[in-house]
Homo-oligomer: A and B are copies of this chain.
Amino acid sequence: VPASIYDVAKAAGVSAATVSRVLSGARSVRPESAAAVLAAVEQLGYRPNQLGRALRRRSTQAIGMIVPRVDNPFFPSVVQHIEEYLRLQGYALLLCTSNDDPDIEAQRLDMLTERQVDGLLISPCHQTRSLPAVRRAAERIPLVQLDRSVEEETYDFVGVDDAGGIRQLVAHMRSLGRRDIAYVGGDRGNWSGAHRHTAFLAALDGQRPEDHPERVLLASFSELWGREAAEQLLASRTPPDAIVCGNDLIALGVISTAARLGLRVPQDVTVSGYDDISMAVLAQPSLTTVRQPVAELTKQAAELLLSRIDDPGRPPNRLILPTQLIVRGSTSQAHADGPSGGTRVPAPSVEPVSS
């Protein structure tokens, strides 16, 4: 059995309270007592039991996080930033995946709540179906949504200007002379899927999408779906001359199928993604996309959470960050051989908005 704080106290010839004080550096302790305690800790190999500490302190110094998927590189990159930030603030990160399933998500949310995390960070997998569990959790624990939000606007949220990003992409395709623009997106159940799709339809304005329902295909944010959708789109007698994709994974799938069918990207068809995952620059051709400001997104989300932990009563805050168009080889031959970066086009007008 591992040593407890009482074992240390006995070995050091002091009381448990003194050991606690030495270890947490809370109040001043006589140097020789401190030395004795430290020696005893060392000798017994004592490690404090955070369960006991958390139970008493009513704080675990842990933040729970739930992401919808871990096989979409966008989320790992978000996780990496968040973990780094929280670590520096002295918080541990407890990470879970919902696998895009609201039931698993709810289960995870409850689990983290019962384990008394001090705060919750979540990208809900569904706008409506995630709502009950998010609400339950938010009633008890400071909660901040990032990148995706549930329908209700009563919780803290920091996301990006999905609509603006799509608008930039459509305008870019237009400026290249493309007129027949198709869309391959994820499902509308989640925030990103819904907003990007809606924005695409809105951006088409002149060209009525009702005339070409087969030009808008929705299913999931995966490369597999990108391959399938491209099959439908590109094998037709009159393929589109541009395909805007809901994220980078879909776009990579589309490009892969285009190559297989012998179509040249960008000459025969231009293709764009969304997210700017690290793979985007490696693709052949490299991928034109919209970059989400992950560093900013995660920093704001973490700060929002810490501020809410500090003051649980403050009114909810919703931040929308601007995106950046990254032009690369999949839409512009001029960029096909660029060593890596691509041309960055900042968003035209959108400022970070707080409501």
Check A260 for interface membership: any CB of B closer than 8 A: yes
- Which residues, 50 to 106 on A, are CB-close (under 8 Å) to B? 50-52, 54-55, 60, 62, 70-71, 73, 76-77, 79-80, 83-84, 87, 92-97, 99, 104
CB contacts (< 8 Å) of A104 on chain B: these are: 87
**Contact, CB under 8 Å: A259 / B284:** yes
Q: Is A110 among interface residues, defined by CB-CB distance under 8 A?
A: yes
**A213 within 8 Å of B (CB atoms):** no
With A76-B70, A83-B96 as contacts: A253 and B278 at CB distance below 8 Å: no
List of B residues within 8 angstroms of A260 by Cβ: 337, 339
Q: CA of A52 to CA of B115 in the docked complex: distance in angstroms?
A: 9
Q: Is the CB of A83 within 8 A of B71?
A: no
Set of chain B residues within 8 Å of A281, measured between Cβ atoms: 256
Q: Which of B110, B116, B140, B227 contacts A51 (CB 8 A)?
A: B116
Q: Is A350 an interface residue (CB 8 A)?
A: no
Q: A235-266 vs B: 1/0 string, CB under 8 Å?
A: 00000000000000000110110011000000
- Majority SS at the chain A contact face: helix
Known: A279-B252, A284-B256. A80 touches B51 (CB 8 A): no
Q: Does the CB pair B95–A95 fall under 8 Å? A: yes
Q: Report how far A58 CA is from B348 CA in the complex, Å.
A: 57
- Residue A282 at the B interface, CB < 8 A? yes
- Report the bound CA distance from A52 to B53 in whole Å: 11
Chain B residue nearest in CB terms to A97: B83
- Interface magnitude class on chain A: 35 or more
Question: Of B54, B71, B110, B284, which one neighbours A284 at CB under 8 angstroms?
Answer: B284
Q: In whole angstroms, how far apart are the Cα atoms of A145 and B2 in the complex?
A: 23
Contact A252 B282 (CB under 8 A): yes
A-B contacts besides A52-B55, A94-B95, A259-B284, 16 pairs, CB < 8 Å: A2-B140, A55-B55, A70-B76, A70-B80, A71-B80, A71-B278, A76-B76, A80-B97, A92-B115, A93-B96, A95-B96, A223-B279, A223-B282, A252-B279, A255-B282, A283-B284
Interface residues of A (CB under 8 A from B): 2, 47-52, 54-55, 60, 62, 70-71, 73, 76-77, 79-80, 83-84, 87, 92-97, 99, 104, 107, 110-111, 113-116, 140, 223, 227, 252-253, 255-256, 259-260, 278-279, 281-284, 337, 339-340
24 contacts between A and B (CB under 8 A): A2-B140, A47-B110, A47-B114, A48-B114, A49-B116, A50-B115, A51-B55, A51-B60, A70-B70, A70-B79, A71-B278, A83-B96, A84-B99, A92-B111, A92-B115, A93-B96, A94-B94, A223-B279, A255-B284, A256-B282, A256-B284, A260-B337, A260-B339, A279-B279
